[in-house]
Chains A and B, each alone.
Chain A
Amino acid sequence: MSAPTDTPTTSPATAPTAAPLSARATAPLNAIVTATDVSQVYELRRGMFARPVGLKAVKDASFSVEEGETLAIVGESGCGKSTLARMLTMIETPSEGALTIDGVTITGEDARQLKKLRSTVQIVFQNPYGALNPRQKVGSIIEEPLKINTRLASAERRRKAEQALAEVGLRPEHYGRYPHMFSGGQRQRIAIARAIILEPKILVLDEPVSALDVSIQAQILNLLADLQERLGLTYIFISHDLSVVKHVADRVMVMYLGRPVEIAPVDALYAKPLHPYTRALLSATPATDPKSKGQRIRLTGELPSPISPPPGCSFNPRCPYANERCHTERPELTPHGPTRVACFAVEEGRIEGL
């Protein structure tokens, strides 16, 4: 594993150093993740002699996650939420901007510190069928992080694995079985056991329940809530399902075409969504009450191509409130009560009923 390379401007001034433990105990609300103008650019080659095009999957994302809270990241497919997850778990280094996790700036630090950080952040993926190796027994799947990151003896590893199995509601005899012998919900429990075995501080949950049925989804959501309470975990919960997000999150970040467009506490977001995209997203989510068949905000069109995003606000081709300014200037996140929102229409008070 080589040290991270080519990171353009990493100013250490923006990266707060790790708070001493005593301070953390007195002030539980402490940013454990801070992202400052983080971007991820992928190079696309289209044809042998064509110039490669830069695709900015995430653009200038700035946000922070407090210790012990659940930050939900929502948006449609292609909005960059999974790219963000890959950066937070250090699968990829951001190509621009600074990302600080647990006091360590992951761009430009030495490899040893990064390795320690990797056991601080763990991830649970969407599809539990694809995330587990069918040739490995459950025991060795769960023990693998220990093998790589610690020097524990095998008996000790086994004890820890069985403890993790118990923690997620599976039985010790499941240790020697293969993944195909389990249902989707149980497999997701195995994936969670693997994620918590290194005692991480942060769990990135990339659509952890979207592949599951409603009744199983409820079981997994309860398990995640239990673990968060017992182990004091910080969750970054990525989802497209707004009703699940409402249930689990403390704060919500709505993304559109690689940029955060609204960051708000969960109550404020659902009571009074500000950004036109958030409003459309909320009204498009079917309500489980036949009597509340309300007026839906119809969004026309689809997500524009991220290779050539529209000038100005990237939501302007689908926005009912867009005017001249939205087509030329790009709005920045500005505070609006407890919410931070990137929209000129909100800023200028052009939206009725706000």
Chain B
Amino acid sequence: MPLLSLRNLSVSFDTASGPFKAVDGVDITVEPGEVLGIVGESGSGKSVAMLGLMGLLPPSATVTADEIAFEGRDMRQMSGRERRKIIGSEIAMIFQEPMSSLNPCFTVGFQIKEALKAHTDLDRKGRKDRAIELMNAVGIPEPERRLSAFPHQMSGGMSQRVMIAMATACRPKLLIADEPTTALDVTIQAQILDLLLDLQKERGMAMILITHDMGVIAETAERVVVQYAGQQVERQPVSTLFDAPHHPYTSALLAAIPERATERRLPTIPGVVPGQGDRPDGCLFNPRCDKADDKCRTVVPPRQPKSLGEALCHYPLNHPANVSAA
């Protein structure tokens, strides 16, 4: 049984100019202990889908899905009280800006202990011991002293460690990390990624890693979902994605990375991600795709088979030799 299974998850926002579909029919399954990467540019709906799962969206958002199941329990039917028992203890999330995710008015010790107070029946002393243990586990030096530190007294890397300590306080089975290292320097980014992977291996915790950085995906994830304008355009194991992308968007995204460039001019993707007003007919990527033809401009593309990266495309790239054209 998969740990988390989402089928046909959509999120739309009520805006002044009508509803806007930020996430459009997303399917995600996460097995226990695996690392799933979700990659996409800003505006591709990668964070919104996860915020929808966590119930962290504003009231103007409508979340619909055919299935939202955590360990086989249907989360759509749950009462708020039941949902909150899972969220924060069994599913936890860390965010991009560690500095702004912590409350500046309370000490970090208080904020770590708050999670324990809500989800465990430890007493005061037990919570304090556990908080120190957690801070030790995430590599914060002198945890006893740091318990009474305020967020502004800590650096970005340390704040992110505190966030990880809070998120892992109740030994979650699934950790959602939304751009956990984007605001950090490379050497600190390497430390935080190592820490997350160590925790994940040690505790058999599954992880969904949301990022726009292909390098971070290559170093950490096992499976990758590529998202574009709210849709999943490709799903592949990481080992094959970088060599043989099947969707033209994935291929263009990889080609635009300076590190993979062979010439002084980088291959670019013309145009920008479509917004609310200019969503094209047919394939959403067709205005920016150099292989698009009339079919792409009118017919919504089908989902290709697994051997073709489940690409959402009429003309997937890199056909494996043993598969005839789909």
Task: Contact check, A216 vs B272: say whether CB atoms are below 8 A apart.
Answer: yes
The interface stretch among A7-15, A36-44, A283-291 is: A283-291
Contacts of B219 in A (CB 8 A): 286-287, 290, 293
Task: Contact check, B41 vs A214: say whether CB atoms are below 8 A apart.
Answer: yes
Could you say which of A183, A185, A247 contacts B266, with CB atoms under 8 Å apart? A247
Measured CB to CB, the nearest residue on chain A to B288 is A215
Quick check: is A281 within 8 A (CB to CB) of the other chain?
A: yes
Quick check: is B298 within 8 A (CB to CB) of the other chain?
A: no
Quick check: is A334 within 8 A (CB to CB) of the other chain?
A: no
Q: How many Å from the CB of A140 to the closest CB on chain B?
A: 25
A119 to B302, CA, bound (A): 55
Q: A284-B186, A285-B186, A293-B219 are in contact. Are A299 and B256 (CB under 8 A)?
A: no
A222 to B263, CA, bound (A): 11
Measured CB to CB, the nearest residue on chain A to B215 is A286
Task: Contact check, A298 vs B191: say whether CB atoms are below 8 A apart.
Answer: yes
Q: How many Å from the CB of A8 to the closest CB on chain B?
A: 33
Measured CB to CB, the nearest residue on chain A to B267 is A218
Contacts of A221 in B (CB 8 A): 258, 266
A192 to B229, CA, bound (A): 28
Q: A213-B41, A213-B212, A214-B41 are in contact. Are A288 and B265 (CB under 8 A)?
A: no
Quick check: is B205 within 8 A (CB to CB) of the other chain?
A: no
Q: How many Å from the CB of B99 to the closest CB on chain A?
A: 12
* Residue from the set A221, A242, A281, A291 with the largest chain B CB neighbour count within 10 Å: A221
A240 to B213, CA, bound (A): 14
Within 8 A of A (CB), among B117-133: none
Q: A240-B185, A281-B187, A298-B194 are in contact. Are A286 and B213 (CB under 8 A)?
A: yes
Q: A215-B41, A299-B187 are in contact. Are A288 and B268 (CB under 8 A)?
A: no
Measured CB to CB, the nearest residue on chain A to B275 is A183
Quick check: is B50 within 8 A (CB to CB) of the other chain?
A: no
Contacts of A288 in B (CB 8 A): 214-215, 218, 242, 254, 257, 259-260
Task: Contact check, B256 vs A217: say whether CB atoms are below 8 A apart.
Answer: yes
User: What count of chain A residues pass the 8 Å CB interface test?
Assistant: 38
Task: Contact check, B242 vs A299: say whether CB atoms are below 8 A apart.
Answer: no
What class of interface size applies to chain B in its complex with A?
A: 35 or more
Q: A225-B264, A240-B186 are in contact. Are A215 and B259 (CB under 8 A)?
A: no
Quick check: is A330 within 8 A (CB to CB) of the other chain?
A: no
Within 8 A of B (CB), among A212-264: 213-219, 221-222, 225, 240, 242-244, 246-248
Quick check: is B157 within 8 A (CB to CB) of the other chain?
A: yes
Within 8 A of A (CB), among B82-116: none
A278 to B213, CA, bound (A): 21
Q: How many Å from the CB of A62 to the closest CB on chain B?
A: 25
Quick check: is B6 within 8 A (CB to CB) of the other chain?
A: no
A302 to B159, CA, bound (A): 13
Q: How many Å from the CB of B228 to the closest CB on chain A?
A: 10
Task: Contact check, B242 vs A215: say whether CB atoms are below 8 A apart.
Answer: no
Contacts of B157 in A (CB 8 A): 302
Quick check: is A296 within 8 A (CB to CB) of the other chain?
A: yes
Task: Contact check, A280 vs B187: say whether CB atoms are below 8 A apart.
Answer: yes
Mark A59-89 against chain B: 1 for CB-CB distance below 8 A, else 0: 0000000000000000011000000000000
Task: Contact check, B242 vs A296: say whether CB atoms are below 8 A apart.
Answer: no
A221 to B267, CA, bound (A): 10
Q: A286-B213, A286-B215, A288-B242 are in contact. Are A243 and B257 (CB under 8 A)?
A: yes
Contacts of A225 in B (CB 8 A): 264-265
7 A/B residue pairs, CB under 8 Å, sorted by A: A213-B41, A215-B252, A218-B256, A218-B269, A289-B242, A290-B239, A293-B218
> Other than the known A284-B187, A286-B193, what 19 A-B pairs have Cβ atoms closer than 8 Å?
A76-B187, A213-B41, A214-B256, A218-B266, A218-B267, A218-B269, A221-B266, A243-B259, A281-B187, A283-B190, A284-B190, A286-B213, A288-B259, A289-B218, A290-B239, A290-B241, A293-B218, A298-B190, A302-B158
**Which residues of A are in contact with B by a Cβ distance under 8 Å?**
76-77, 183, 185, 213-219, 221-222, 225, 240, 242-244, 246-248, 280-281, 283-291, 293, 296, 298-299, 302-303
